[in-house]
Each structure stands twice: as C-alpha cells, then as structure tokens.
C-alpha cells in the first residue's frame, strides 16, 4: 500500500527520471556546501532530490546547514527549473528528538527524556540556538509552567532564523517515487508492517533493515541515509545504505538512483 493519502507525512516524487539521495549531515556545513557544488555540476533534467535526515546534531555548523539547505533550494536548484515539491526533506532521528523536545512539557518525566536526548546528540543543537543543557534542566526542576515557558522561548529562537521552522514543518517520514519504484527512509523500517504503520521505526529500527531479504511493498529498492555503524555505501539486492559517517569523522555521501534501483552516480566529500 503506497501512502498516497498521507501527503502530510510522506513525500511523493513525481515525474522523476533519477533521484539523488543525501546521507546524514550532522551539522557539517562545509561538506554539505562542497557536495552541493558537485551536485549542481552533475544535475540532469528530470532529477529529483531527497535529503535523508539528521541535519542537526554533533557538528558545530548546524545553523549553517539549515541555511545552506534553504539557499540551495531557493537560489540554485530552482534556477534549474526545479519546483519545491521536487525536493523532499526527511525527518531523521535528530529532528524527531528536536520535535519532541519542543513538546517536552507534555512528557511524563521531562528530566529522564531530556537526559536520553542529551546522550543521543541533542546538546549540540541546543547550543546552536543559544541554550545550555544545565540551564534547561533548571526549568524542568521548576515544574510544568517553567518548562512550557522554556519550550515556547526555544520555538521563538527558531523563528529568529528565517526559514528554519519552514524546514522543520516540511519534514516527511519517508519519500517514494510516484509509481512505487523507490522508497527512501531515514534509518530503517519494520518489514512486517506496511508503510503507514511504521511510526518510530523510521528512526530507530536500524537493525531490522539488514534483515530485509525480499522486495518490500513492491518497491525495486529501499534506500536509507543513516546507519549506526556508518558503513559507507552498502548494497543488497533490495536495499541500499548510504552513510559515510559525516559528523563522526567520515565523509558526506550522496547517490543518484535510476527508477530500477540502480546507482547511476555518486558523490563523496571527504
């Protein structure tokens, strides 16, 4: 079942001849800029573009990454005749944590949730928006009213950066080509469930991806952009993993896929 009735959650790439997919960036703006420079040179009519999540976290150029994503879409690809719907941003694990952080006043135990987020890389994104982890914990200790005020303040800080909130609102859980040839996800899926029932598995079902041994839901290829092991470009008959470890000391990677699931081109920024 293709998620055609869930356009607010899933992105559809229409009339695509090839699709470029960009792996996790993790705040490395310099590598992203260099990758975009190469991408412009390799771009062909009918190409589409999917960013596979994890724009935030770890690196010291998080705000610059978001600015570069916006600038590239508006100032460079649109000049090549691209429309906004031809570029899809997936929500990665870092962006999913960020979304939940902005609603942390609703959590049963904000302190425990926050500690887990800090262990998984949210601190760098908080610092990018001018927040300190220990100061944030003070608001949580003061109770729900202070926590809510803090969350609202953080949201206001995001709005001080033009376009950042627009990216967060536009994030999709997965993307697919309109006739069901290719499916793009962040980190994994549960192959026993249909797409519309995946829920958090898009961000956390990393190990299950390696167990896919047959076509999923009729797609020619299933492509992900984050791997816990950052193993680079790994292909199987039914899947592709694309994660060189950008933000962890490794390169930023992108690959271009034809609709039959084959890799037609690639970019590696060391």
Q: What is the CATH number of the domain that holds 34?
A: 3.60.21.10
Read off the pLDDT of each residue in 119-124 and give the average, rounded to a whole number.
93
Edge-first strand order for the sheet with 182-185 is 10-13, 174-177, 182-185, 221-224, 239-243, 232-235
Domain final position from 124, 159, 194:
159
Same domain flag for 180 and 258: yes
> Does residue 4 fall inside a structural domain?
no
Q: What is the pLDDT of residue 17?
A: 95
**Spatial contact of 17 and 47, defined as CB atoms under 8 Å apart:** yes
- Look up the domain containing 124 and give its range: 96-159
How much is the pLDDT for 74?
79
User: Would you say the C-alpha torsion 165, 171, 177, 182 has a positive or negative sign?
Assistant: positive
Give the phi and the psi of residue 148 in degrees, each rounded to 5.
-65, -40
Report the number of distinct structural domains present in the chain. Answer: 2
Per-residue pLDDT averaged across 27-44, rounded? 94
Residue with the bigger pLDDT between 258 and 204: it is 258
105 with 222, same domain: the answer is: no
The answer to the question of residue 164 being in a domain is no
Instruction: Read off the pLDDT band of 2 (50, 70, 90).
Output: low
Tell me how far CA of residue 83 lies from CA of 54, 78, 87, 193, 199, in angstroms: 23, 6, 8, 32, 28
- Under 8 Å CB-to-CB from 142, ≥6 apart: which residues? none
Sign of CA dihedral 16, 35, 57, 221: positive
Q: How far apart are CA 180 and CA 120, in angstroms?
A: 33
In a domain, 179, yes or no: yes
pLDDT tens digits for range 60-118: 899 999 999 999 987 776 656 667 778 999 999 999 999 999 999 988 899 999 999 99
Mark whether 217 and 199 lie in a shared domain.
Answer: yes
Task: Check pLDDT > 60 for residue 166.
Answer: yes
Query: Given this model, what pLDDT does residue 73 score?
Result: 84
**Nearest partner of 136 among 105, 175, 166, 96, judged by Cα:** 105
- In angstroms, the CA 35 to CA 269 distance is 6
186 and 82 assigned to the same domain = yes
By mean pLDDT, which of 50-54, 80-84, 120-124, 130-134 is the weakest? 80-84
Closest CA to 210 of 197, 186, 233, 227: 227
Its pTM stands at 0.93
- Residue 37 in any domain: the answer is yes
Q: Tokens 């084959």 sit at which residue?
A: 262
> Does a structural domain hold residue 2?
no
Which residues, 6+ apart, have CB-to-CB distance to 145 below 8 Å? Answer: none
Note whether 147 and 139 are within 8 A (CB). Answer: yes
Q: What is the pLDDT of residues 187-240, one digit of tens each?
A: 999 998 899 888 889 998 878 888 888 999 899 999 999 999 999 999 999 999
Q: 43: closest CA among 15, 77, 87?
A: 77
Please tell me the predicted confidence (pLDDT) of residue 172: 95
Residue 4 has pLDDT above 80, yes or no: no
Among residues 113, 89, 220, 221, which one has the least CA distance to residue 166? 89
What local confidence, expressed as pLDDT, does residue 86 receive?
Answer: 85
- Dihedral of CA atoms 197, 201, 103, 60 in degrees, nearest 10, equals -140
- pLDDT score at 207: 81
Tens of pLDDT, residues 142-165: 999 999 999 999 999 999 999 999
Compute the distance between CA of residue 119 and CA of residue 57 in angstroms, rounded to an integer.
11
- Asked if the model's pLDDT at residue 1 lies above 80, the reply is no
Last residue of a domain, one of 159, 188, 214: 159
């Amino acid at each position: 079942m293709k998620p055609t009735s869930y356009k607010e959650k899933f992105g559809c790439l229409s009339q695509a001849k090839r699709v470029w997919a960009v792996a996790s960036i993790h705040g490395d703006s310099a590598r992203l800029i260099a990758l975009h420079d190469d991408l412009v040179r390799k771009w062909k009519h009918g190409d589409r573009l999917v960013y596979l999540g994890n724009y935030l976290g770890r690196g010291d150029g998080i705000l610059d990454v978001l600015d570069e994503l916006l600038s590239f879409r508006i100032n460079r690809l649109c000049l090549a005749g691209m429309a906004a719907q031809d570029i899809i941003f997936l929500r990665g694990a870092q962006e999913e944590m960020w979304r939940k952080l902005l609603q942390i006043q609703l959590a049963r135990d904000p302190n425990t949730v926050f500690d887990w987020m800090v262990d998984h890389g949210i601190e760098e994104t908080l610092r990018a928006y001018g927040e300190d982890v220990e100061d944030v914990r003070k608001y949580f200790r003061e109770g729900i009213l202070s926590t809510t005020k803090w969350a609202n303040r953080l949201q206001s800080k995001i709005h001080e950066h033009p376009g950042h909130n627009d990216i967060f609102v536009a994030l999709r859980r997965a993307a697919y080509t309109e006739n069901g040839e290719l499916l793009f996800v962040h980190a994994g899926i549960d192959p026993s469930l249909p797409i519309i029932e995946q829920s958090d598995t898009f961000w956390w079902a990393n190990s299950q991806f390696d167990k896919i041994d047959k076509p999923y839901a009729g797609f020619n290829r299933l492509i992900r952009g984050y791997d816990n092991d950052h193993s680079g470009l790994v292909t199987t008959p039914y899947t592709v993993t694309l994660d060189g470890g950008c933000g962890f000391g490794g390169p930023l990677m992108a690959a271009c896929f034809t609709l039959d699931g084959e890799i037609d081109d690639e970019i590696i920024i060391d």
